[in-house]
Amino acid sequence: MKDVFKSAVFLVLVLTGCNASLPEEQRKALREEMDQREIKKVNENEIFRKALQIGREIAGSMDSVAVSALENDQEVKIEVIDLRDSLNLNETERKILLAYAYAPDPAIVEDNIQKQGIDSLIYSTFVGGDSLRKILLIKMARKKAVLAL
Protein backbone atom coordinates (compact mmCIF):
# COMPACT_ATOMS: atom_id res chain seq x y z
CA MET A 1 0.00 0.00 0.00
CA LYS A 2 2.87 2.34 0.84
CA ASP A 3 4.42 1.66 -2.57
CA VAL A 4 1.24 2.68 -4.38
CA PHE A 5 1.00 5.85 -2.30
CA LYS A 6 4.66 6.69 -2.94
CA SER A 7 4.21 6.08 -6.67
CA ALA A 8 1.16 8.35 -6.78
CA VAL A 9 2.93 11.14 -4.88
CA PHE A 10 5.96 10.81 -7.13
CA LEU A 11 3.78 10.99 -10.25
CA VAL A 12 2.00 14.13 -8.98
CA LEU A 13 5.33 15.80 -8.19
CA VAL A 14 6.76 14.96 -11.60
CA LEU A 15 3.69 16.27 -13.43
CA THR A 16 3.57 19.52 -11.50
CA GLY A 17 7.30 20.02 -11.79
CA CYS A 18 7.39 19.58 -15.56
CA ASN A 19 5.06 22.53 -16.23
CA ALA A 20 3.23 20.57 -18.93
CA SER A 21 1.00 23.42 -20.11
CA LEU A 22 0.50 24.09 -23.80
CA PRO A 23 0.54 27.50 -25.45
CA GLU A 24 -2.90 28.88 -26.30
CA GLU A 25 -2.54 28.30 -30.05
CA GLN A 26 -1.64 24.62 -29.53
CA ARG A 27 -4.59 24.15 -27.18
CA LYS A 28 -6.89 25.72 -29.78
CA ALA A 29 -5.51 23.46 -32.53
CA LEU A 30 -5.92 20.44 -30.27
CA ARG A 31 -9.55 21.35 -29.53
CA GLU A 32 -10.30 21.78 -33.25
CA GLU A 33 -8.72 18.42 -34.02
CA MET A 34 -10.79 16.76 -31.29
CA ASP A 35 -13.98 18.38 -32.66
CA GLN A 36 -13.21 17.09 -36.17
CA ARG A 37 -12.71 13.58 -34.85
CA GLU A 38 -15.95 13.65 -32.89
CA ILE A 39 -18.23 10.80 -33.87
CA LYS A 40 -21.36 12.02 -35.62
CA LYS A 41 -24.35 9.97 -36.66
CA VAL A 42 -25.44 10.73 -40.21
CA ASN A 43 -27.97 8.99 -42.40
CA GLU A 44 -27.92 8.15 -46.12
CA ASN A 45 -30.14 11.10 -47.05
CA GLU A 46 -27.75 13.60 -45.47
CA ILE A 47 -24.79 12.01 -47.24
CA PHE A 48 -26.59 12.04 -50.60
CA ARG A 49 -27.74 15.66 -50.16
CA LYS A 50 -24.19 16.74 -49.33
CA ALA A 51 -22.74 14.77 -52.27
CA LEU A 52 -25.34 16.38 -54.57
CA GLN A 53 -24.31 19.81 -53.31
CA ILE A 54 -20.62 19.02 -53.83
CA GLY A 55 -21.33 17.71 -57.35
CA ARG A 56 -23.28 20.85 -58.26
CA GLU A 57 -20.51 23.10 -56.97
CA ILE A 58 -17.87 21.22 -58.95
CA ALA A 59 -20.03 21.18 -62.11
CA GLY A 60 -20.65 24.91 -61.72
CA SER A 61 -16.97 25.72 -61.45
CA MET A 62 -15.94 23.64 -64.48
CA ASP A 63 -16.27 26.63 -66.81
CA SER A 64 -13.65 28.67 -65.01
CA VAL A 65 -11.22 25.97 -63.83
CA ALA A 66 -9.37 23.26 -65.74
CA VAL A 67 -10.76 19.75 -65.23
CA SER A 68 -7.42 18.32 -64.10
CA ALA A 69 -7.04 21.09 -61.54
CA LEU A 70 -10.55 20.41 -60.23
CA GLU A 71 -9.87 16.68 -60.02
CA ASN A 72 -6.70 17.25 -58.01
CA ASP A 73 -8.13 19.98 -55.81
CA GLN A 74 -11.47 18.28 -55.06
CA GLU A 75 -10.14 14.69 -55.08
CA VAL A 76 -12.72 13.52 -57.63
CA LYS A 77 -12.73 11.92 -61.08
CA ILE A 78 -14.55 13.86 -63.79
CA GLU A 79 -15.76 12.36 -67.10
CA VAL A 80 -17.90 13.70 -69.91
CA ILE A 81 -19.55 10.86 -71.84
CA ASP A 82 -21.49 10.97 -75.10
CA LEU A 83 -24.98 9.47 -74.76
CA ARG A 84 -24.27 7.14 -77.69
CA ASP A 85 -21.10 5.72 -76.12
CA SER A 86 -21.38 2.90 -73.58
CA LEU A 87 -17.95 1.34 -74.03
CA ASN A 88 -15.67 1.09 -71.02
CA LEU A 89 -18.43 1.91 -68.55
CA ASN A 90 -19.16 -0.06 -65.43
CA GLU A 91 -22.69 -1.23 -64.61
CA THR A 92 -23.69 1.83 -62.58
CA GLU A 93 -22.37 4.25 -65.20
CA ARG A 94 -24.16 2.31 -67.95
CA LYS A 95 -27.47 2.54 -66.06
CA ILE A 96 -27.03 6.29 -65.62
CA LEU A 97 -26.22 6.67 -69.32
CA LEU A 98 -29.30 4.66 -70.32
CA ALA A 99 -31.55 6.76 -68.09
CA TYR A 100 -30.45 9.92 -69.90
CA ALA A 101 -30.38 8.27 -73.35
CA TYR A 102 -33.96 6.97 -73.14
CA ALA A 103 -35.44 10.16 -71.74
CA PRO A 104 -37.51 12.05 -74.33
CA ASP A 105 -35.54 15.16 -73.44
CA PRO A 106 -32.35 14.51 -71.43
CA ALA A 107 -32.22 18.18 -70.43
CA ILE A 108 -35.29 17.72 -68.21
CA VAL A 109 -33.74 14.81 -66.28
CA GLU A 110 -32.58 16.20 -62.96
CA ASP A 111 -29.03 15.85 -61.77
CA ASN A 112 -28.63 13.06 -59.26
CA ILE A 113 -26.38 10.96 -57.06
CA GLN A 114 -25.95 7.22 -57.46
CA LYS A 115 -24.20 4.83 -55.14
CA GLN A 116 -21.38 2.82 -56.70
CA GLY A 117 -20.22 0.03 -54.46
CA ILE A 118 -19.74 0.64 -50.76
CA ASP A 119 -17.44 3.65 -50.77
CA SER A 120 -18.11 5.64 -53.96
CA LEU A 121 -20.78 8.02 -55.23
CA ILE A 122 -21.41 9.29 -58.76
CA TYR A 123 -22.94 12.70 -59.46
CA SER A 124 -24.48 12.96 -62.94
CA THR A 125 -26.03 15.74 -64.96
CA PHE A 126 -26.85 16.42 -68.61
CA VAL A 127 -24.59 18.82 -70.50
CA GLY A 128 -25.01 20.16 -74.01
CA GLY A 129 -27.63 21.42 -76.36
CA ASP A 130 -29.43 19.95 -79.37
CA SER A 131 -26.42 18.53 -81.21
CA LEU A 132 -24.19 17.95 -78.16
CA ARG A 133 -25.76 15.19 -76.05
CA LYS A 134 -23.42 14.30 -73.21
CA ILE A 135 -23.55 13.64 -69.50
CA LEU A 136 -21.13 14.76 -66.87
CA LEU A 137 -20.07 12.16 -64.30
CA ILE A 138 -18.26 13.23 -61.14
CA LYS A 139 -17.04 10.28 -59.10
CA MET A 140 -16.22 10.93 -55.47
CA ALA A 141 -15.44 8.96 -52.38
CA ARG A 142 -18.32 8.64 -49.97
CA LYS A 143 -15.90 9.78 -47.29
CA LYS A 144 -15.66 13.19 -48.98
CA ALA A 145 -19.39 13.84 -48.44
CA VAL A 146 -19.34 12.46 -44.90
CA LEU A 147 -16.41 14.64 -43.84
CA ALA A 148 -18.05 17.71 -45.39
CA LEU A 149 -21.09 17.34 -43.11
Domains, the chain, ranges and CATH? Answer: 2-36 (no CATH), 44-148 (3.30.450)
Pairing outcome for strands 112-116 and 134-141: unpaired
Q: Structure pTM?
A: 0.72
Contacts of 82 (CB under 8 A, 6+ apart): 133, 134
Q: Specify the pLDDT at position 87.
A: 79
pLDDT in tens, 54-104: 999 999 988 778 888 889 989 999 998 888 777 788 899 889 988 888 888
Q: How confident is the model at residue 114 (pLDDT cuts 50, 70, 90)?
A: very high
d(CA 149, CA 45): 12
Tell me which of 26-35, 46-55, 96-105 is least confident.
Answer: 26-35
